[in-house]
Amino acid sequence: MLNNIVRYKLTYMIIALNLLTYIISSFYSRDFVDMDLEVLVELGALFGPLTVLQDQWWRLGTAMFLHGGMTHILMNMFSLYLIGRGAEMYFDTKSYLSIYLFSGIIGGLVSLYMHPVSVGVGASGAIFGVFGALAGFFLAHKEEIAVQSKAFMKDFAIIIGINLVIGFSITSVDVSAHIGGLLAGFLGGFLLSKSVNFLSLYNSAMLLIAVVIAYYLPLQYAQTLF
């Protein structure tokens, strides 16, 4: 057990941080099953009028560690437990962390574009980014690890398909954040599987995309909300 914790330390640390944040949220919400929406906003949930119009961009980071309820966090942490350990086998710590955080940020920005007045929380965008990173890795090395690649891509397609069906079926699930995170993670996984020297390039590209979207959002909000 200890060996597994050491081997997959980053995944377990992220899970622990999410669980700790959930406990804090439940304390303020006075409910361990469903979080109070106002409490989530106070703790750092994504909310367009605050994030975009009042320049509270730090919410792109805090929202990744907040969850709306017990089912929400259990589904996300179980998914991260399954997929995150695989990512730690193929990516170094810096690459894994960069992919996770940028996928969550890009997913959050896409969510703000698609849902300007909705409250957004959850690690889904970042987790889908890890899914995407593994897909990018296996695609980049499909010839060398053909058997594992085919098996993973089949499982990957099934998992993504199920999540998208659930997302389109349940209105509270933000599919746009999933897709944004997935694409950001796929790009990172493909590049960084070629060489870790591409990490600076990936970070710069993601930062540039984030800045461009963040610059455009206030203009878009001005047209749609006023």
Q: What percent of the chain has pLDDT over 90?
A: 59
Give the number of other Cβ atoms within 10 Å of residue 206's Cβ: 20
Q: What is the pLDDT of residues 2-15, one digit of tens each?
A: 566 667 899 999 99
Residue 196 CA to residue 183 CA, distance in Å, equals 19
Residues catalogued as catalytic = 124, 178
Q: Which residues of 51-90 are buried (b: 16+ CB within 10 A; e: fewer)?
A: bbbeeebebbebbbbbbbbeebbebbbebbeebbebbbeb
CATH number for position 167: 1.20.1540.10
* Closest C-alpha among 112, 125, 121 to residue 217: 112
Count of structural domains, the chain: 1
Q: What is the pLDDT of residues 14-35, one digit of tens each?
A: 999 999 999 999 999 999 999 9
Domain that holds residue 8: 2-225
Residue 188 CA to residue 98 CA, distance in Å, equals 9
pLDDT value at 169 more than 60: no
Please give the model's pTM, rounded to 2 decimal places.
Answer: 0.90
Quote the pLDDT of residue 197. 92
Average pLDDT of the segment spanning 110-129: 92
160 confidence band (pLDDT: 50, 70, 90) = low
Residue 68 CA to residue 41 CA, distance in Å, equals 11
Quote the pLDDT of residue 14. 97
Find out whether 129 and 109 touch, Cβ atoms under 8 Å: no
Q: What is the pLDDT of residues 123-158, one digit of tens each?
A: 999 999 999 999 898 888 776 665 655 666 666 666
The burial of 115, by beta-carbon neighbours within 10 Å (0-12 exposed, 13-18 middle, 19 or more buried), is given as: middle
DSSP string, the chain: -HHHHHHTHHHHHHHHHHHHHHHHHHHHHT-SSB--HHHHHHHT-EEHHHHTTT--TTHHHHGGG--SBHHHHHHHHHHHHHHHHHHHHHS-HHHHHHHHHHHHHHHHHHHHHH-TTSEE--SHHHHHHHHHHHHHHHHHTTTTTHHHHHHHHHHHHHHHHHHHHHHHHSTTS-HHHHHHHHHHHHHHHHHHHH-GGGHHHHHHHHHHHHHHHHHHHHHHHHHHH-
pLDDT value at 115 more than 60: yes
Number of alpha carbons in the 13 Å side-chain half-sphere of residue 33: 0
